[in-house]
Structure 1
Amino acid sequence: MGSLTATAVKAASEPGRYGDGDGLFLLVGKGGAKSWMVRIQKDGRRRDIGLGSASKVPLKLARERAIAVREQVEAGIDPVAERRKAAGIPTFREAAKLVHAEHKASWKNAKHKAQWLSTLENYAFPAFGDRSVAQIDAAAVRDALAAIWLAKPETARRLRQRIRTVIDWAVAKGYRDSSLAMPVIDKALPKQRAKVRHHAAMPYAELPVFMRVLRETESMGRLALEAVILTAARSGEVRLATWDEVDLDAATWTIPAERMKAGREHVVPLSTPAVDLFKRLKAHRRDGDGPALVFPGMKRGKPLSDMTLTKAMRDMDRSETPHGFRSTFRDWVAEQTTFPADLAEAALAHAVSDKTVAAYQRGTMLEKRRELMASWADYCDGIGDQKIVRIVV
């Protein structure tokens, strides 16, 4: 028989702890609020587990709950976890959103905050977003990862980590008994290709100063390098450019499909500084048997060597690669402008990976790209509000 009575519970007003026996206590707070708590001990560990408010849980029910908790602990069951399960286990979608809400305050990068959840929305939710987080198994996760494991390796690795974070959170909250068997999932996936090593790229903040120094001395290598920068084209496309591809009146340079990595014709809108550059190059024109090269090499009829562009950079004490200016351009668009990402990708002549989008996006967006390349040329010249350019020479 317990020490407390219903009358004593009602009369208790002094803050403190009132024992009923067998680890059951009535807790009275400083403000007068009353609640039940049972203290249990198992394998040398002591835990205090709440049983509810005394205003809603009468003494008899509190004793029954205390007995049930002790029985669960003796059976090796976590009563807190069981209570959470009884309250309803969230779906994977709901759990992911809760995890995101808890973690996002600690992330400084706004882009990461958005991408963390969008990665799951795009690749995990369609597969098992509406399933209970307790029922997500290794097979479901493996299949979701396998769909993009080779095509989008970096995204797949991020997806893997984010799914694991959600599942581990569910284990900690008592919604699951165990985490995912990640080693098993990893072994069931094909081996990814070696990580791509990106070309060394110049930080865009340093570009305006670099351009001024580049233009101080005129050589074929420096002129070609300037063209690479102003057009955001590949160095090979620039070196092999011919005068029949360039229309200075229309301010365009049309690169034929056979010289494009994606295998389709690419029209480059030329900004005013780019047109001026090509006009200066007319003085170097050498007509021969075939189409005249815009950037002729030392040997007649031969294009400029790629090493000539690299040497121009090394002469300026720069360790980056000419190809890296495409990354410089892409970073500038993403971080310093409001131009959409698909416009930047079109300017770089990147293939659209999404076949559905590619089917409908058949236009070249030439006039929109013309505006983008004009802004890029202005930035390269140091024109406009270039708040980020703080170069110490």
Structure 2
Amino acid sequence: MADAISRNEGTEPKKRPEKALSAAFVRTVSKQGKYTDGHGLFLKVDASGAKRWVQRIMIRGKRSEIGLGAASLVSLADAREQALENRKLARSGGDPLQIKRTAKALLTFEEAARKVHKIHEPNWRNKKHAAQFLATLETYTFPRMGKLKVSEVTTADVLAVLQPIWLEKPETAKRVRQRIGTVMKWAVANGWRQDNPAEAISQALPKQKQPVKHRKSLPYGEVSGCLEVVRASRAYDATKLALEFVVLTACRSGEARLADWSEIDLENAEWTIPAQRMKANKEHRVPLSGRALEVLEAARALGDGTGLVFPSVTGKALSDMTLSKLVKELGYAVDVHGFRTSFKTWCQERTTTPREVSEAALAHTIQNKAEAAYARSDLFEKRRALMERWAGYVSSQDSSVTRIATLGAGVR
């Protein structure tokens, strides 16, 4: 077959057909040269016999060449289609060469995930959460789609990752989906794709049915007796004080265990928990009752210079397991977090406290956005009165001890 630069016998050049080449010619040609097709596309054959597609095109007034791949991998039809798309884009003012360079420089999903992890590093609540972000992706996601460019990830890829664990490991699957979505949103923000495939698969996944598991709590009428048993036990003093402080302030275990003296204002009877330690990531002020201040005075005598209000015997923060082990070994099959439920139920059944006050005491976030926009007060003084009443109730020495501590050695 004659190539596209051949001429008629006269002096006038032969008009080039739009599709001068054939699939058979591309497959069999071996002579070194350039063989023109249409839209600037030509097949370049090297002396070694290697063949590749190249397109010569005007991009914003400048003549350029774009490689379209080896002929052994890219068919004539595919090369023509790409050449036509490139030409249309260039005629409209676009730059197909720049798009190709950008695509080549795109990160893989794994690279993007590690980049996102690094970007969010200053905001991680703790090292454990930071490690979990990558650990779940390394286990479930990278093997399937880690090497794909972020622009190439499809809903099918995300489904392939989630379906095997969606019902078997529902909580893990939800976290994996959320973390994939975080990476995809970052890719969208960078202009590398237009959609988030992690959000487009809801209808393709079966509904997860999970029973709601509430933390085991102690009836509020037994809290006073529990604290008496705790005080009488041979447990480590800081452990006993920390547990009572959790009950008196209705705070979460981690908020008390990691409490630092720099957060405590004894003069004004206030404890300010920094945002990074709060579930809602918002600073929270806690009014300290008279009994809570007594607990802190006792804790001050245990100070080891680390700044922790309730240091362990090793000088580190007490673990959540330490407090949990204390109440369980004393005969109370409840969760430490459940004392918050005891407090809330007491508020509902034994007081006329408005719901918003008890919810503020528990540092719960107002879910209604419109209501939250107008709720500017933290109801601190009303909470102070409430916490004083709660402290009086659970610190009463008149309550009978309903369980007997059988602990031999000291609980740590």
TM-score by length of structure 1 reads 0.48
TM-score of the pair, normalised by structure 2: 0.46
